[in-house]
Chain A
């Protein structure tokens, strides 16, 4: 019995793996993300970086050399080391903010769709509020009030990016809850929370999963935007923070390409990696988009 089961599972995994392997977007995205994850995890261990340690007049704005692989910034700090610890911050903010956003979006979407009526109206008006209000001014105000530690930034990005997910999950819940197996679950005597957790969530999960990867990309851009505008955490310089310093010190006009190019490229690559992976998963898992 379990062997038949196991064979089926292995077959499914194999089919997924083959689809993944032969999808150029998926492999490219995965390679980029694996590269940056490894860099974020072991990079700062091999090349520790202290943003409070400034250089001397001689080491300010040095172009790339063998001592400073990617040169130094306007305060004499090593760009390469900064880049590695920035990877850690950017990925962490992206992933944690996405978790908050997914948790909120999924639970609000499911509850709204499942209960309907007043609860639905209230929750969807709140969702509309978050969808309609201009994102940047709201976040600027929130961060300005709450302070700009990295945890606050995670929280603020998480709290402001769930609305789209909630909408999508709600509409899928509306269709799932009308299916007869939900009635059967009610007939068994299951209560609302069991029905939502055991029967609706697994059926809307593929949607949540596909959304997660794409929201991560958005969260990383959001963090970069905030940091670039000077709302980042100065004790934990992310890529956005580096761009902020580069912009402030006029790196672009003074020709210090090593100052703004590496963080800029890193942001673009990571976001590209997540986007590639998100679309590729959609293509592999959604039979309607599968190419034969």
Chain B
């Protein structure tokens, strides 16, 4: 059985300027113990997708259509009280910028214990011991558990944040840019840690990032998002080596690759479109080198390229020829 199924999810923000179609008809699924990378530029709907799963959207954000299933539970129809029971116990999150995601006036151990006490019938002491166990699991000195967030370094805080995410043995962990604002060495350590924990604890993992380069070693599958839609999804190898969508191609050209001939990284011209009035047809056409007339008029459907690899482009792979 699939761990997570997102089907035709539509999450819109109703603001005074109009309706922002932040996530528009997104579908993907995740097997038990699998890792999915969700990648795209800022403002393309990655975080909104993640927040929709846990129903943590701000009041303006409304799930207008589609379903989200966690195993057999339909998360999209649960009441506010019911969804609270699933939050963290089933789906937990590692937030971006752990430095801000901790309460500055609470001990870190206390913040981890809080999550345990909230979902399990345990005493405070048991929860505190659990927090110590988790500290060891994420390779932090258990003695530091009584410290306050400002006494931890950035990497340590991110580790503590991961410990917190694992507090209730969740089935799925969503890492929302878990390595942003960390230096490259710590970034690698954190990703290795997440990968190791996923394998030992057999949990599903979704990593949200704008940096395609960090996903190669951790993820089984990668979904590329652009302007609220998934434009390409497939196994990591397919997306890296056999990608068909020009946007994926440009993303991969955007950072240097030691396996490629020496070329300067090329930025993608322009910026992501206004999601209140998205471009007609293919949303990427104004920035696409290969756009033709049909791209302005007709929205491309998903084309399957086998092995669970599909893409949304009229001229898939045009950049190869």
Contact = CB atoms under 8 A, between A and B. Distances in A.
Given A1-B146, A198-B114, A183 B95 contact: yes
B101 A180 contact: yes
B114 A188 contact: yes
A1 B87 CA distance: 31
Count class of interface residues, chain A: 20 to 34
A5 B146 contact: yes
Interface stretch (B103-111, B250-258, B272-280): B103-111
A203 interface: yes
A1 B143 contact: yes
Nearest to A200: B103
A264 B54 CA distance: 62
Contacts of B92: 187-188
Interface string B201-233: 000000000000000000000000000000000
Contacts of B97: 180
B63 interface: no
Contacts of B114: 185, 188, 190, 198
Given A1-B143, A4-B143, A189 B101 contact: no
Identify which of A5, A184, A191 gathers the most chain B CB atoms within 10 Å of its CB: A184
Contact of B88 (A2, A189, A198): A189
Interface in B232-263: none
Contact of A189 (B84, B95, B104, B146): B84
Contacts of B147: 4-5
A64 to B, nearest CB: 53
Given A1-B145, A183-B95, A184-B95, A189 B103 contact: no
A11 interface: no
Interface string B120-143: 000000000000000000000011
Contacts of B85: 189
B266 to A, nearest CB: 33
Nearest to A202: B105
Nearest to B91: A187
B2 interface: no
A236 interface: no
A190 B80 CA distance: 11
Contacts of B106: 198-199, 202
Contacts of A179: 100
B277 to A, nearest CB: 28
B100 A180 contact: yes
B146 A2 contact: yes
The SS class assigned to the A binding surface is helix
B144 interface: yes
Contacts of A198: 103, 106, 114
B9 interface: no
A188 B87 contact: yes
A186 interface: yes
B172 interface: no
Nearest to B87: A189
Interface in B45-98: 54, 56, 84-89, 92-93, 95, 97
Interface in A1-41: 1-2, 4-5, 8
Contacts of A189: 84-89, 115, 118-119
A135 interface: no
Contacts of B84: 189-191
A181 interface: yes
Contacts of B86: 189
A100 B86 CA distance: 38
20 contacts: A1-B143, A2-B146, A5-B147, A179-B100, A180-B95, A181-B100, A183-B56, A183-B101, A184-B93, A184-B102, A187-B54, A187-B88, A187-B95, A188-B92, A189-B84, A189-B86, A189-B88, A189-B115, A202-B103, A203-B104
Interface of A: 1-2, 4-5, 8, 179-181, 183-191, 194, 198-199, 202-203
- What 6 pairs between A and B have smallest CB-CB spacing? A1-B143, A189-B87, A180-B100, A5-B146, A189-B84, A180-B101
Given A185-B103, A187-B56, A203-B104, 7 more contacts: A1-B143, A2-B146, A4-B147, A183-B56, A190-B84, A198-B114, A202-B106
